[in-house]
């Protein structure tokens, strides 16, 4: 006899997606075109999904694959908008869908620029407890190719400082691994801030009056708040003569900081901040004890380096003749840098500073070691 064929399988009807999730629903202020998080759809049938955005702030977002991103032209700004409201719809291949409302929160950030010349790749952190070392709970970020940084603002009390360590000088191309720069936070947290050798010196002064005295002794006009919130490098590049003079001061102080670090053979970030504090402290004491500070004078540089080295490395003996010779060379470079006809952002200045960051520092190290 014959048989019978197997019954035809019953086709399962397509079922709608059941829910949508987003791996992260916050974005750091200032991050233009940033990725928010990854979208995921739950569906009893599995498959692939198409996402669309609607709602009050839909125009500020895009979906790429299953990633939710800020639109390329949008930079989150905590001061103008603390959150976005959007609805995301997920549609399966059978044209069935589900949707969900999301609130994207903007995280407040400290934004600014690290400048000796602009320093790229610097580690920038908020020193919440004032120990000059980055602890695990202290937010940090890296400066970009033009020296700009964005760090989450978790400050709730006190007056912590911003510290930058290391980086590559974008003008000379030289890496300065243990150059530590410091800045007070400006009173207006909505403004972009500066972290420079000048702000480092001001940050070491203990009182508002002492900070003002530092600027006056250096011949710097304007307020401390203006110094903290001015992009000196950009203004100098644009031809502003006041900014050019500020940048010359930055370069002079920066060279003294780097030379002190070379003298004590710093090999760690914590030692780098110790050296910076010691040099800045001596410069502040000089500013507060006289009407002016001349960063081109050998005697001034000698006094600063002598006291700073003794404070940071009391067990290391650096001969007075060594410090005197080093100070004389730093004085010569700082005198060149101080020339008002020299553009501090130009090529001639770059050549001077490149030599000061390389050949001069090698000679300082060899002299301190006694090999020359």
pLDDT tens-place string over residues 103-143: 999 999 999 999 999 999 999 999 999 999 999 999 999 99
Cβ pair 326, 262 in contact under 8 A: no
Pairing of strands 83-92, 180-184: unpaired
**Residue 339 tokens, joined:** 């020339």
With vertex at residue 369, the alpha carbon angle to CA 364 and CA 372, rounded to the nearest 5 degrees, is 70
Which residues fall within 8 angstroms of residue 191, CB to CB, at 6 or more apart? Answer: 229
Within its chain, how far is the Cα of 215 from the centroid?
Answer: 23
Task: State residue 12's pLDDT score.
Answer: 75
Please tell me the distance from the alpha carbon of residue 313 to that of residue 301, in angstroms, as a whole number. 18
89 - beta bridge partners? 52, 99
Residues of the chain scoring pLDDT < 50: 268
Residue 90 in contact with residue 99, Cβ under 8 Å? yes
Determine contact, residues 101/55, Cβ cutoff 8 Å: yes
Q: What does the pLDDT read at residue 292?
A: 86
Q: Distance of CA 90 to CAs 17, 257, 267, 301, 349, Å?
A: 7, 57, 54, 67, 57
pLDDT of residue 354: 96
Tell me, yes or no, if the pTM score tops 0.75.
yes
pLDDT value at residue 189: 82
Neighbours of 121 (CB within 10 A): 16
Backbone angles phi, psi at 36, to 5 degrees: -85, -55
Tell me, what's the pLDDT at 316? 76
């Amino acid at each position: 006899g014959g048989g019978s064929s197997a019954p035809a399988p019953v086709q399962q009807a397509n079922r709608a997606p059941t829910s949508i999730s987003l791996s992260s629903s916050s974005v750091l202020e200032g991050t233009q075109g940033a990725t928010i998080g990854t979208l995921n759809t739950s569906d009893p049938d599995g498959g692939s999904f198409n996402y669309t955005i609607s709602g009050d702030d839909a125009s500020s977002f895009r979906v790429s694959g299953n990633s939710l991103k800020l639109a390329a032209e949008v930079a989150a700004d905590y001061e103008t908008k603390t959150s976005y409201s959007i609805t995301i719809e997920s549609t399966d291949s059978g044209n069935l869908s589900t949707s969900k409302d999301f609130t994207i929160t903007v995280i407040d950030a400290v934004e600014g620029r690290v400048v000796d010349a602009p320093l790229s790749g610097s580690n920038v952190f908020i020193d919440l407890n004032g120990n000059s070392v980055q602890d695990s709970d202290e937010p940090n970020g890296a400066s970009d190719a033009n020296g700009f940084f964005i760090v989450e603002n978790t400050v709730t009390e006190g007056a912590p400082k911003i510290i930058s360590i290391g980086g590559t000088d974008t003008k000379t191309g030289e890496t300065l691994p243990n150059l530590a720069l410091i800045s007070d936070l400006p009173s207006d947290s909505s403004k972009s801030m500066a972290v420079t050798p000048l702000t480092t010196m001001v940050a070491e002064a203990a009182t508002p009056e002492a900070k003002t005295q530092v600027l006056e002794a250096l011949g710097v006009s304007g307020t401390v708040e203006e110094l903290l919130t001015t992009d000196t490098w950009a203004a100098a590049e644009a031809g502003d003569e006041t900014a050019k003079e500020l940048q010359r001061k930055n370069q002079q102080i920066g060279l003294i900081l780097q030379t002190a670090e070379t003298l004590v053979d710093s090999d760690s970030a914590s030692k780098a901040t110790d050296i910076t504090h010691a040099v800045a402290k001596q410069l502040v004491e000089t500013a507060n004890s006289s009407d002016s500070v001349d960063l081109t004078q050998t005697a001034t540089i000698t006094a600063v380096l002598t006291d700073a080295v003794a404070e940071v490395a009391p067990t290391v003996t650096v001969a007075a003749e060594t410090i005197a010779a080093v100070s004389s060379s730093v004085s010569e470079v700082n005198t060149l840098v101080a020339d008002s006809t020299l553009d501090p952002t130009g090529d001639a200045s770059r050549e001077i500073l490149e030599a000061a960051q390389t050949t001069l520092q090698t000679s300082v190290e060899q002299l301190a070691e006694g090999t020359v």
